[in-house]
Amino acid sequence: MTDSLKGKPVVVSLKEQMKQEILGLEAEGIQPTMGILRVGNRPDDIAYENSIIKNCDSIGMRTQVFEVDKNIHMEAFKELFHKINDDKYIHGVLLFRPLPLQLDMDVIKYLIDPQKDIDCIHPMNQQKVFEGAVDGFLPCTPEAVMEMLKYYQISLQGKNIVVINRSMVLGKPLAMMLLAAQATVTICHSKTRNLPEITSKADIVITGVGRARFFKEEYFHQDAVVIDVGINDGGNDKICGDVDDDRVHDKVKAITPVPGGVGTVTTAILLRHVLEACKKQI
Ligand code: NAP
């Protein structure tokens, strides 16, 4: 029978560890705090913010929201960013993106204090991922994938792993993390030829193409572990992954559901980064 690699037990375990650590820090008068910097008030940003705050509340982590007008000028934005960086009561900063056009991300990514960069925006932290250094912050989504694999005790050493995504938020850093875990990694993308031929030979396939139910059974070996990172509009107000679960679920060894898979773990990783940042800063 196919294993369903659900995100919930992973989240429960991560949150339990964090709760205990936060209690310990509180006893010393320290309250780990996430600063949330939101430009404008787009409904999807507000929904995401509410879910982050709820998650933080559930483990006793404090949040502080900085909402600025969507027409804010670059200089005023820089000033606010420096203020947040200098605030010793804020340990990690989450910047909602995309930003409006007048705010140049190529400049802003250098503004964040690398010690508070819980979402791995600063080029210094990104570089560390590629160097294999362990003292920076990893991007949350690839780290969530690694956490799922670890929790479900899926060994990586010597495995053939195919990642279908080459973005900086997912495929490239994930490939580096998998290499560091001794896997043999192939990165595929939209110009890859004969994709099913490549993926069907893999022990583990990680999809992140952003196309609803794109991957059918011919893409996978019967013993494959499939990690579906895609979050797509599945129609009828439903979310679905990149993998056609109806057709693939029973034809592989294990698969992550969407919703309820990697996405749920990603937020828990973000919270863990705040806690790590807090511990480093004290
Ligand atoms: P992205 O920058 O658009 O990257 C998509 C990648 O898929 C690109 O490398 C693209 O190739 C490749 N691709 C697209 N169509 C393909 C095809 N037909 N065959 C092979 N490769 C193809 O998107 P992203 O920001 O990395 O996000 C990817 C997906 O992950 C989205 O569904 C997003 O919602 C989801 N996501 C999930 C989480 C989570 O926590 N679970 C977090 C972030 C993102 P090219 O490089 O050639 O264009």
Q: Rounded mean pLDDT of 132-157?
A: 95
Nearest alpha carbon, ligand 1 atom 48 = 190
Q: Check pLDDT > 90 for residue 222.
A: yes
What is the structure's pLDDT at 106? 95
Q: Check pLDDT > 90 for residue 215.
A: yes
66-89 per-position pLDDT tens digit: 999 999 999 999 999 999 999 999
Per DSSP (E only), the strands in the chain are 3-4, 33-39, 62-68, 92-95, 160-164, 184-188, 204-207, 225-228, 232-235, 238-240, 254-255
Q: Taking the CB of residue 115, how many other CB atoms lie within 10 A of it? A: 17
Share of the chain above pLDDT 90, in %: 97
Q: Check pLDDT > 90 for residue 238.
A: yes
Q: Check pLDDT > 90 for residue 280.
A: yes
pTM exceeds cut of 0.85: yes
> What is the distance in A from the centroid of ligand 1 to the CA of 264?
18
Q: Rounded mean pLDDT of 182-203?
A: 98
| Cβ neighbours for 118, distance < 8 A, ≥ 6 positions apart | 34, 92, 93, 94, 137, 140, 270, 273, 274, 277
Q: Check pLDDT > 90 for residue 45.
A: yes
Residues with a CB atom less than 6 Å from ligand 1: 141, 164-167, 169-171, 188-192, 195, 208-211, 229-232, 262-263, 266
> What is the distance in A from the centroid of ligand 1 to the CA of 164?
8
> What is the distance in A from the centroid of ligand 1 to the CA of 211?
8
What is the structure's pLDDT at 149? 98
How high does pLDDT run on average in the chain?
97
Q: Rounded mean pLDDT of 45-50?
A: 96
Q: Which two tokens stand for residue 194?
A: 């004969």
Q: Check pLDDT > 90 for residue 133.
A: no
Amino acid at 32: P
Torsion of CA 273, 79, 43, 46, to 10 degrees: 40
Do the Cβ atoms of 212 and 240 come closer than 8 Å? yes
DSSP state of 252: S
SS3 category, 228:
strand
Return phi, psi of residue 236, to 5°: 50, 40
Q: Rounded mean pLDDT of 263-281?
A: 97
> What is the distance in A from the centroid of ligand 1 to the CA of 192?
14
Share of the chain above pLDDT 70, in %: 100
What is the structure's pLDDT at 134? 83
